[in-house]
Every structure is written in C-alpha cells, then in structure tokens.
Amino acid sequence: MAMQDLLKAEDIKKALDSFKAADSFDHKKFFELVGLKAMSAENVKKVFRVLDVDASGFIEEEELKFVLKGFSKDGRDLTDKETKAFLDAADKDGDGKIGIDGKRQRERQRDRNTIQTNISRTETDRKRAETNTSTETSSREPKETNADKKRQKLRANQKETNSFRGPM
C-alpha cells in the first residue's frame, strides 16, 4: 500500500516542504500537517506498516532516518540529530525502536511471563533440594525401632526395680 492511498498528496507535499531544511524536522507538526492526528487508529496503523520497511512491527533507528521518504520519494533523510530527537520522543521504553498495535506490550508481557516462570521453577527446584537434603539428613540419623523402644522400657523397669530393692 502506498502512502498516497492513506493520506492526501497535497498534505504530504505541504508537510515535506515545511521541513526541507536540515535540522528543521518536528515530528508532531509534521504528523499534524499530513493529517495523521485526525486519522482513525486503524489508518494510523496502516501508515505505520508502510513506514516499517522490514515489517518487524517496529520502526528502528535506521528506518527512522529515512521516514520522510516513506511519505514521498522527494522526502529528505533526517539528520542524525533529528533522528535521535524523534526516537527519544517516540521510544517509550528505551529499547531503540518505535512500536505500534500493542506489540511492544505483548513482547514485554511475554518476557515478564518467561522471567516469572523461570523464577517459579528456580524456587520449586530450591524447595525440592531443601526437601531432599532434609530427607537425606534424617535418613542418616539412626531411626528408633520397636526393639530399641522395648530395650529402653526394660532398662527403665530394671532401674525402678533396683531402686525398690535397695542395696544387697
């Protein structure tokens, strides 16, 4: 899909003409001039997909440098300063890319879930190890058998009996 299918050609030309000079680009004004601010969320997503040249779901710094060419072949390249300023303004999580359609949030949630799963597994493994250690420790200790209990009773009874008899 071409950008002219989504936006008016005269709006694109007017916006590009407004920012012909190097270091004059203002993304907010540019998007307002091309009509993006008045568009539905679905159409903004379509514009984003046109600008996302590698179809990664993100606009990375290298793509951002050529963003004006995404609107028209006559568009100029952004300067490094403009590219950095634009990226800093639009990159909400500091990952060096601009996302849309909740993809970034889904990826972050997936990462959080993975981390939480790993933490849970580690915690479970730790508990198992503790249980195995305590089981091993208790199995090393001698267990009192019924025979031992009987012997202890007999000894106790003998001591009582001897204490009643007195010295002989």
Query: What residues are designated binding site for Ca(2+)?
Result: 52, 54, 56, 58, 63, 91, 93, 95, 97
Nearest to 32 by CA among 53, 10, 15: 15
Residue 168 to residue 163: CA distance in whole angstroms: 11
Report how far apart, in Å, the C-alpha atoms of 161 and of each of 148, 153, 166, 167 are.
20, 12, 9, 12
> 101: phi > 0 → left, psi -120 to 50 → alpha, else beta; which?
left
Query: What does the alpha-carbon distance between residue 10 and residue 6 come to, in Å, rounded to a whole number?
Result: 12
- Are 146 and 154 in contact, with CB atoms under 8 Å apart? no
Binding site, residues?
Answer: 52, 54, 56, 58, 63, 91, 93, 95, 97
Type and span of the H or E element at 98: strand 97-99
Note whether 65 and 50 are within 8 A (CB). no
